[in-house]
Amino acid sequence: MKSKYTVLDMFSGAGGLSEGFFQQGFNFVSHIEKNKHARNSLETRAIYHAMKNSNNEEIYRDYISERLNRDEFIQAFNKLELPPLGLLQGEITESSEGSIIENVKNHLKYLDEDSVDVIIGGPPCQAYSLAGRGRKPEEMKTDPRNYLYRHYISFLKYFEPKIFVFENVPGLASANDGCIYSNLHDELKNLDYETEAHLLNAKDFSVLQERQRIIFIGWKNEHRLSYPEFSKNVASRFRVSALLKDLPQLQAGEGTDGPSKYTTFFKQSSRYLQRFNIRQKEDILIQHSARMHNPRDRDIYRTVIKKWDAGRKRLKYDELPPILQTHKNKTSFLDRFKVVDQHGYSHSVVAHLSKDGHHFIHPDINQARSLTVREAARIQSFPDNYKFEGPRIAQFAQIGNAVPPLMAKGIAVEIEKMLKEIL
């Protein structure tokens, strides 16, 4: 039986899905991502795991503590002479597909592996999302991103993994009147994969967030496997407040992207943070800085928080005091401001957070601001030592596009069990 299983990660993003498989001990052949900032975040995280596994984690801590700059950090990694990471930056297109496959194949040989056990990933979801189709129905219908799944199919066809995991937004099932969903199933069947797709919610994987994703899991027909029965949520007694209370209070514009201090000692941080390894004793707080907000928006935030605190009701735009209403459109898109529920689960963190924070207002009326990068990352269940590269707008987009790592690890645990049955 193999001690480590090989995995190829496509459309990797900043590595939320990868993180779960890293934590479960899978050996990555390659990661493929086109966005520069997301790719750099994934590189930083892959280096962290390589350093941790080789007892060189202090170098990573030097980097996030800003005792090393990024170039020095990369140089320090190269000096360790560990196996290369296999990160490939570039868009998968018809013209690039062949060369990317060759690069993955060469890295497989370098690692002295003869096969890919698992392929994971999911193409960008904007063309499938219900929100996107609601705003631009015709554009989304003809969007070429609808068909990025075909590249995933090509990689399955070439590498023939024993198992694959394909994830996306629930809207995939109804995109283009259900044709994409149906075609995907048909093409997978033609490749001799038995495939099931289920709608899974991140909160059932101990993530403190209502976040549904459609998860396809497929296996070669020759193997007698079945779709996993995932364990029930073991964090149901925890609430979002458990994620926020040890972070320094900030006013709009305060805080820093660099290292700073928590408000309490580790022994006083929440059991949730400790139990799910989001904050560890040696961690350094990073990327906890608040956006600037104009006085009118902060007044709106206080009004929205006050109404939510009084009766857990969302305030619609046309219910704001007239002096705070500046948009002419008062008949549609009224759900423009939303506070995060600290006494329950957060609503789904999405990439739109990169454009403004109106849908992700911190629940503390005294702070009257939107979430920081670290707060959004915690809601997504990213560990505190996970550093996101690029400007803040890119960091928010990476977090919003990611699969929550706790959810990813729950999937990885079951995939490992499936592999043990057949290898």
**Of 289, 312, 287, 315, the residue nearest 301 (C-alpha):** 315
φ, ψ of residue 83 in degrees (nearest 5): -55, 140
The rounded distance, in Å, linking the Cα atoms of 78 and 330 is 57
CB 172 within 8 A of CB 178: no
Catalytic residue selected from 17, 92, 104, 125: 125
- Helix/strand/coil for 278: coil
The rounded distance, in Å, linking the Cα atoms of 265 and 244 is 14
- 125 in catalytic set: yes
Letter string b/e over residues 366-398, b meaning 16 or more CB atoms within 10 A of that residue's CB: ebbbbbbbbbbbbbbbbbbbbbbbbeeebbbbb
Cα-to-chain-centroid distance, residue 121: 11
The rounded distance, in Å, linking the Cα atoms of 161 and 153 is 11
φ, ψ of residue 306 in degrees (nearest 5): -60, -45
Token reading at 103: 């690069």
Active site residues: 125
